[in-house]
Amino acid sequence: MKAGKKRQKKNKQAVLLGLGLDGKDGHVRLTRGENFQLVGGSKETHEVMQETAVKINEELNRRGKRLEEVTKKEFMDIAGKAMGK
């Protein structure tokens, strides 16, 4: 890096990736939303992943934060609440 040049900050981005492996019915399920992409799974599994991703986004909105802004501990708390734990 040359002297005098400013380092550019990289914009952090985060996405939740849900991968369902129990889909045996031949359907390819794909859902994209704010902060998440969900792929595969049985109908039931995919619906659970959708519900969980939506609840995580709702909690992030309540806290006034974006996914890339939360700490690992904070994310684990949010995800636990979304999954009813």
Residue 42 is encoded by which pair of tokens? 């049985």
Stretch (H or E) spanning 18: strand 16-20
The pLDDT value recorded for residue 12 is: 82
| Domain ranges across the chain | 16-82
Residues 57, 79: Cα–Cα separation, whole Å:
10
The pLDDT value recorded for residue 9 is: 58
Reference 67, options 29, 10, 15; nearest CA is 15
> What phi and psi values does residue 18 have, to the nearest 5 degrees?
-105, 130
Q: What is the pLDDT along the chain (85 residues), one digit of tens a residue?
A: 455 455 555 678 899 999 999 999 999 999 999 999 999 999 999 999 999 999 999 999 999 999 999 999 999 999 999 998 8
The pLDDT value recorded for residue 22 is: 96
The pLDDT value recorded for residue 8 is: 52
